Amino acid sequence: MTGVMLDKSFKSGIGSHGMIEIRVVVLRPRPPKGSDTYREPSPPGPTEEEEPLVEPGSSPLSAYLERKTHGRQCVVFLVNGQRHDAWDNSFVSRDLGFKYLRTRTMIVVELDSLTQEAISETVQGSRQGLYAGQVLGAISDRLVATLKKDPDLLRLQAEAEQELAELQAGDEVVRKKLDELIDAHHAAASHVQVGAAEPGNIHADQTVGLGKLKRQDLVTEALPSVGDPGALPLLVASRQGKILRLRPNVESTLHIEALPQTAWDSITDIAARTSPQLEELGIGMARTPSGANVVLTFFEPKDFNDDEYPLETTLRVFARFKEQTDLRFLERDLIIDRHHPKPPSPKPPLSLAPSQLRIVSRQPIRLVPGGPSAHVRVSWNGADSLALGPSPEWTFEAYCPSLATFPPINFTAPCDGRFELLIDTPRGLLTGQHLEFELRAIGPDGPPLTASFTGEIASPPPVPPAPEPRRVVRAAPEAAGQRRPPYDLKYVHEQDWDTPTCWGESAWTQGDVGAFSEPTESTPLTLVINEDAEGLKEFREGLVQRGLDESTVRERVTRYTAHIAFHLYQMFRFKRVCLDEQAEDESAHVPSDDEMRLEIGRVATTLLKLMETPR
Amino acid sequence: MVTPTEIEDHERFFRTAVDAASSSAVRSVLAKLPIVSEDEYVFDETAPERGWQAGYLHWYPVGRDRGNAGRIKLAGSPENPIAERTINAMEALIELERRRELRAQPGTDVPRSPREAVLRYFDLPRLDQLPRWNRSIRGQKAFDYARDLARRIRVRLVRSTRPVEYGVFVDDDGIGQSPSRLHATLLSLGRSDKPDKPYLIGIFGQGGSSGYAVSDYSWLASCRAPEFLDGDDDGVGWTVVKRIFPAGRRDVYWAYLAAHPDGRVARLKRSAADAVGLRHGTRLAHLNYNFGKTEPAATLYQGLNHLLFNPVLPYELVTGPERRPDPMWGNGYRLSRLGEDKKALDKTFGGQTVDKRTE
């Protein structure tokens, strides 16, 4: 049974064109087989099993698209419930930036409340698509503005990235082979793109690194009160927090870049160290096109005593830039502890005669004039259905007695007794000013339920100060060696097939030999190899049955894996070229995930056949 | 003065006619009727009676327009015409209730939208809210009530063999049309009476006609609810629609069998409708439906649920004799009820107003 991770709707005005309602539903990847997940009774209606048999598609959303294999129409535009247009998941991936959610996100846009003029401009008699004019452009802008920074979507995207990061890392032999293939490829070909798509210009065979600790002058990003003034460049990390939390046996990545970014190419040595040293903590470093990923894994010994958690240490990354005498470094505190998932909280008992209304959000509510809507969480003990529909039995209203001209306050639909107020604070209010708000739930009989809360006008969050280089004295290391692959290599095994990492966030099958995940701001290009793909499994078993030497078996599997990874790498580069072409010519074809899935499958078959053929 | 052509032995004929599930079956029905061939009678918009032969049925352009292909060939995918017909069926149900309301309480305000009409006449919430609707409706559990309602619109896929072809049937228990109005409503193009009825869904008055273009033959029969005849003849109107390739011309068009030069279709007595259990509403079939390479029994459920994503009314779909009718709620409902046990978040942002965007 497929689960829903996110299902929320927005009703947004788009200026003079009227209003639209947006619902976004994000499905969970299928749970691992045999997992003991919490399950509630299903609501009335047919169970999924009673629905007509729908062939399992490649993603949890497959059963909700027009065609499970061809339809990617996951952004639908409805008029009176009828679909009039649909966009594919490139909108989710490219326009919204949620690459890892693209195959399990459905966005439903209801156009019923558009003005008559807007409807007449966009809606076509054929129902085959909306007219791509000003109104549709405004709708698109509104969708992006509403969803691009949605905290829930951002959270789910980060979780999906984490899923990918937690796959088993590829072994060093295969990485080495793949590096050779990539280097040979680049020696014979010009770079197709600079920046994030490319591995940078430090060659994989270049050795860099640092060695013994020695007290010396270092430059780091710090407050002006620390040390003496320093100079750019600096090392900076993608994660802003001072603390990095690790789970045992789970890989975590910290992305490092140079400031300014262009200085990255002038790095000659880079190394990561921890203090105090933890024997069980593995530290790796992988180059990405614009920086490096420090990969951290705490390998928990079998007899490890849980009482030792949490473990704490400090990670420092040092780098030497050309023509800079002082090393640069950055520092993060590491806390290693077990993950204790919070059990789902029981649903509160809800009544058809509600008697409680409560503000849940901490007060005072922070109100930013002209900023994004402030969300005020509220709970009540009324059944959701009391406040649903166009003529609900219960309605909510909120107002600001402190300021009669305060704009109308809107609400989300209640869900399990919880809902939110959305407060749009007008410009022109004084920072620090307190405003009182009243919330009323009005039912058919009796006095209304009331609750009040306080808001405080806050100034917009200050623009983070520009990183300032500061010179400090610390113990820092000297020279060693480090390989710098422009990618990350991961393996997936059968027990992990349900992880949503196949071509973005689909589950794996025995027919999937590999996939890649495009680099994001915080993750490099990730090549994922299915170690238990049917063809590879049979190939391995065949080699063993033939009584071949263990090293021969290993060598052939390595060759296969490296070549599959190399082909994935090339597919990624090819896709980038296609996307560039498409940016200039809309008719240019960009290979879809399904096409790439089939391509890598064919390549694997050919490779395996080739290796089975006697020389 | 031309008198409308009559069909003999109404009841027996109608039983056979509504059983026609393949193009060959329709041809058999047509073979028994007095029909002037499409080459003999050439419709002239200014003088449709020219060349008319009394006592015969004639092929008459849908929408009284020989250039109707551009307004009929609008289907981009096989499911689209079926969705359009289903929408028409929903409107027929709503219109029936609206007329009942007006008869009981003349002057009652018009519902401002189809959803408002559905709530007013059927007490039915939006279907995507139904999984959370824990109140009963008209003494029934909400789901059971809605499931009963779905039986009033039936979409059926019928597979014929030798040769293999599919027929799509859409039946509704809506208000129906009287025989003398069928040509001006279901067989018209762009002559919609909906624009002044905000509670109906269609606007352009031609969406349902796209089904003609994707099938060899279509037949339709409609019977008006007796209490809303408004002075029209009672009985059931019946006709067949097919594509005409005019000799020596390349402007293909679609035509139906008309019984009178003004476009009226053949009228059968109400007893004929009673004989097949048609009290009021419309039955129509698109035969030898062109589904392309898709296997409709496997794809129709999913395709229709996507096209009618959150329909104002539920309906039934029958995809084969071995499968009982599937209630169709749309993907909005399916997503709402899906995996509630694993929902991380489910919220609806209602009524946010945004000022006009400035560049």
Which pLDDT band, with edges at 50, 70 and 90, does B120 fall under?
very high
pLDDT of res. A210: 57
Pairing, β B165-172 against β B236-244: unpaired
pLDDT of res. A41: 39
Higher pLDDT, residue B299 or A397: A397
Q: Which of residues 83-112 of A touch B (CB under 8 A)?
A: 83, 86, 106, 108, 110, 112
Tokens standing for residue B95:
């219109």
Whether A83 sits inside 8 A of B306 (CB atoms) is yes
User: Would you say residue A70 has pLDDT above 60?
Assistant: no
Q: Can you tell me the ipTM of this complex? A: 0.90
> Which of A469-478, A572-581, B211-220, B295-304 is predicted least confidently?
A469-478
Query: Cα–Cα–Cα angle for A600, A602, A607, nearest 5°?
Result: 90
User: Would you say residue B308 has pLDDT above 90?
Assistant: yes
> Mean per-residue pLDDT for B5-33?
89
Whether B298 sits inside 8 A of A55 (CB atoms) is yes
Q: Which of B302, B334, B336, B358 to mutate to test the interface with A (most CBs of A within 10 A)?
A: B302
Full residue range of the structural domain in which residue B183 is found: 10-81+149-335
Which pLDDT band, with edges at 50, 70 and 90, does A202 fall under?
very low
Q: Which of residues 6-25 of B touch A (CB under 8 A)?
A: none
What is the residue-averaged pLDDT of chain A? 78
Tokens standing for residue A392:
């609900």
Length of chain A measured in residues: 615
Tokens standing for residue A460:
């917009």
pLDDT of res. A206: 32
Q: Which of residues 280-299 of B touch A (CB under 8 A)?
A: 298-299
> Mean per-residue pLDDT for A114-130?
79
Whether B352 sits inside 8 A of A71 (CB atoms) is no
pLDDT of res. B357: 47
Instruction: Name which of B125, B206, B331 is nearest A389 (Cβ-Cβ).
Output: B125
Q: Is residue B143 part of a domain?
A: no
- Pick the most confident of A297-306, A570-579, B111-120, B315-324: B111-120
User: What domains can you pick out in chain A, each with its CATH number?
Assistant: 4-163 (no CATH), 168-174+486-612 (no CATH), 201-341+470-476 (2.60.40.10), 357-457 (2.60.40)
Shortest Cα distance, chain B CAs vs residue A136, angstroms: 14
Query: Is B215 near chain A, with CB under 8 Å?
Result: no
User: What is the per-residue burial (b if ≥16 Cβ within 10 Å, else e) of B279-317?
Assistant: ebbbbbbbbbbebeeeebbbbbbbbbbbbbbbbbbbbbb
3-state secondary structure of B80: helix
Which pLDDT band, with edges at 50, 70 and 90, does B296 fall under?
confident
Q: Which of residues 324-343 of B touch A (CB under 8 A)?
A: 326-327, 329-343
Unique residue bearing structure tokens 């056949």? A609
Alpha-carbon span B263 to B114, nearest angstrom? 31
Residues in chain A within 8 Å Cβ distance of B312: 80-81
Length of chain B measured in residues: 359
> Which of A29-33, A37-41, A425-429, A598-602 is predicted least confidently?
A37-41
Instruction: Name which of A43, A55, A83 is nearest B337 (Cβ-Cβ).
Output: A43
Helix B23-31 and helix B10-19: axis angle, to 10°? 160
pLDDT digits (tens, 9 = 90+) for A256-272: 888 888 888 888 778 88
Domain count, chain B: 1
Which pLDDT band, with edges at 50, 70 and 90, does A165 fall under?
low
pLDDT of res. B109: 93
Which pLDDT band, with edges at 50, 70 and 90, does A56 fall under?
low
**What does R_g of chain A's alpha carbons equal in angstroms?**
28
Q: Is residue B300 part of a domain?
A: yes
Query: Is A377 near chain B, with CB under 8 Å?
Result: no
Strand (E) or helix (H) holding A196: none
Q: Is residue B345 part of a domain?
A: no
DSSP per position, B268-327? E-HHHHHHTT-SSEEEEEEES---TTS-HHHHHHHHHHHHTSS-SS-EEEE--TTSPPEE
User: What is the per-residue burial (b if ≥16 Cβ within 10 Å, else e) of B223-243?
Assistant: bbbeebeeeebebbbbbbbbb
> Mean per-residue pLDDT for B270-289?
92
pLDDT of res. B283: 96
Shortest Cα distance, chain B CAs vs residue A489, angstroms: 31
**Domain holding B49: CATH number?**
3.30.565
Q: Is residue B129 part of a domain?
A: no
Residues in chain B within 8 Å Cβ distance of A22: 349
3-state secondary structure of B344: coil
pLDDT of res. A22: 87
Which pLDDT band, with edges at 50, 70 and 90, does A482 fall under?
very low
Q: Is residue B284 part of a domain?
A: yes
Q: Which of A7, A25, A381 to mutate to test the interface with B (most CBs of B within 10 A)?
A: A7
Instruction: Name which of B303, B343, B346 is nearest A66 (Cβ-Cβ).
Output: B303
Amino acid at B149: L
Query: Cα–Cα–Cα angle for A152, A157, A160, nearest 5°?
Result: 125
> Mean per-residue pLDDT for A285-304?
82
User: Would you say residue A522 has pLDDT above 70?
Assistant: no
Nearest to A38 by CA among B343, B132, B336: B343
